[in-house]
Structure 1
Amino acid sequence: MTLGTRDALLQRAEYLIRTRGYSAFSYADLAESSGIRKASVHHHFPKKEDLAALLVSRYIANFTSTLAAIKRADTQAQARLIAYAQLFLDGFENGMLPLCGALSAERSALPESLRATVCAFFDLHLNWLADVVREGVAAGELTDAIGIDRVALLLLSTLEGGSFVGWALQKTDPVLSAFHDVLATLSTSRQELARP
């Protein structure tokens, strides 16, 4: 199935944001990489802010559906967290950073409306992680020695940071290695094994 022009532009813009950054690509770049005239880009998206706002809102909607699917697919918190972590490898082989990380790195260059959306995107991550961790603690799978919200922040920070390190080194290992170490530390089964 062939993408319509508008969807093709959104797909191409996502790639450019995740590889170059929001402020580092122009409509001329988008037109050239999409094989259409710059005027056509402006026809579909009069302002770059309009294009980015629609792109991020669609991305968030898809991401929310993916998170719901992860919860339906697995009942154990650790399995859910591992499936979530795998999302950070999405696009990595094509040299793309996670969208929210790429946008947040340029926060000062973003229009005000996008800044709020990026904050909401991170809140979505943190709230979902906190829910999964809370359920894992209730089931006896995970420990919350530092508090559920701090565990959620630690997991997200580890994955976002690992993505940037992996991107800089052009290696996939750093993306998930620290995350797996943190998850092992939070696991109650590991604590039980360590007891005398």
Structure 2
Amino acid sequence: MPNPSTTSDDILHCARALIVEGGYNGFSYADIAKVVGIRNASIHHHFPGKSDLVRTLVASYREEAEHGLAALEQHVSDPVEQLRAYVGYWEACIGDGTAPFCVCALLASQLPQLPEEVAREVRAHFRALAAWLSSVLERGAKQGRVRLTATADVEAEIFLATVHGAMLSARAYGDAGMFGLVTRPMLERLAVPQ
């Protein structure tokens, strides 16, 4: 049985949705209070300032992503299938609207405007994700499953940029299908035919 949500969980969930919708500066505590059904003072009790809230949100998001990648590693051993599963996760989220954009990708586009403690968390998310992708690509190349045209580190950055760019294209065109249109050729380029 799942744990019941707490007020701080509800605040974080609401903030995440509002950030995906309008970015760091696109919401206020008043917006959260209205959605969650609490007073602004209650939000300040849990998160004294907006930077505290968003830093906690990004740290939680990073932890969630790390758990998801660890679970993927446990259940899928083939590197190409791991890459497909990662892309497939986002394709499903964008398609059904559950997570139409990566919170950290959106915040990364606003780095110059973010408080430093939030920016650090966003950068840490990208570093961790790039390291995981690099390890998958490197393992895939050693197994003869992945074709690299650059180092695994560079390919990981290309992969990240393609996935996040595909999210942007899907949003810009208002067409979830754009995500797959952009990411499929990348996966085909990387996968060695069996």
Same fold (TM over 0.5): yes
Q: Which has the larger radius of gyration?
A: 1
Structure 1 gaps, min length 5: 191-196
Superposition map of 1:17-166 within 5 A: 17-89=19-91, 91-92=93-94, 93-94=97-98, 96-166=100-170
Q: Using a 3 Å threshold, how does the CA distance of structure 1 residues 176 and 115 change in structure 2: closer, same or farther?
A: same
Q: In 2, Cα distance between the equivalents of 1:84 and 1:44? A: 33
Q: In 2, Cα distance between the equivalents of 1:91 and 1:38? A: 31
Offset of residue 95 of structure 1: 6.7
Q: Using a 3 Å threshold, how does the CA distance of structure 1 residues 36 and 108 change in structure 2: closer, same or farther?
A: same
Task: Give the RMSD, CA atoms, in angstroms.
Answer: 1.6
Q: In 1, Cα distance between the equivalents of 2:159 and 2:189? A: 11
Query: TM-score, with normalisation over the residues of structure 1?
Result: 0.91
Secondary structure (helix, strand or coil) at the match of 1:188 reads coil
Offset of residue 49 of structure 1: 0.8
Structure 2: which amino acid aligns with 1:41?
I
Offset of residue 91 of structure 1: 4.5
| Aligned residues with identical type, % of pairs | 30
Structure 1: which amino acid aligns with 2:117?
S
Q: Using a 3 Å threshold, how does the CA distance of structure 1 residues 90 and 100 change in structure 2: closer, same or farther?
A: farther
Structure 2 gaps, min length 5: none
Residue deviations 1:86-145 (CA, integer Å, cap 9, x gap): 232464315731111111111111101111111111111110100000010011011112
Q: In 2, Cα distance between the equivalents of 1:95 and 1:128? A: 21
Structure 1: which amino acid aligns with 2:150?
I
Secondary structure (helix, strand or coil) at the match of 2:193 reads helix
Matched, 1:184 2:188: yes
Query: TM-score, with normalisation over the residues of structure 2?
Result: 0.92
Q: Using a 3 Å threshold, how does the CA distance of structure 1 residues 117 and 168 change in structure 2: closer, same or farther?
A: same
Count of aligned pairs between the two proteins: 190
Secondary structure (helix, strand or coil) at the match of 2:24 reads coil
Q: Using a 3 Å threshold, how does the CA distance of structure 1 residues 7 and 83 change in structure 2: closer, same or farther?
A: same
For the 8 Å contact 2:100–2:167, the answer to whether it is kept is no
